[in-house]
Amino acid sequence: MTTSADTDHRRLHEDLTSLAAYLLSVGRGLLEEPDDYPPLRCVDAARRTLAVLETHTTADPRLVELRAKLEDAVTAPPEADPPPMEGLLDDLCMTMARIIKDSG
């Protein structure tokens, strides 16, 4: 008999396996992609990781909000003159650091 815990573990296994496959394919792709792709790929990996966390735990609402910001950064239409990635990453890193610090 399959329990809900078995189903949850199987889903977590699938989600983390997919995330690992994504990270490996990103690593390979970065060898040939333009210079501005690596930061965006890292932002997308963080977004995917937080989505797995939301799926399998009761995620901190601040992490849900952070994932939404990451979603916006990844899915925004390309701009002719996009804002610098450095500022976005600084903001996201500081937000994550505060969340981790506050979580103790």
Q: Give the residue from 102, 104, 9, 101 showing the smallest Cα distance to 55.
A: 9
Structure tokens at 5: 């815990």
CA distance 11 to 4: 10
CA–CA–CA angle 60, 40, 69 (5° rounding)? 35
Per-residue confidence of the chain (104 residues) as pLDDT tens digits?
778 878 888 999 999 999 999 999 988 988 888 877 888 889 999 999 999 999 999 889 999 999 999 998 888 887 767 777 888 899 999 999 999 999 87
- Computed on alpha carbons and rounded to an integer, the radius of gyration of the chain in Å comes to 16
Is-contact 24 48, C-beta < 8 A? no
Question: Which residue is it, tokens 């500081």?
Answer: 94
Query: Does the global pTM surpass 0.75?
Result: yes
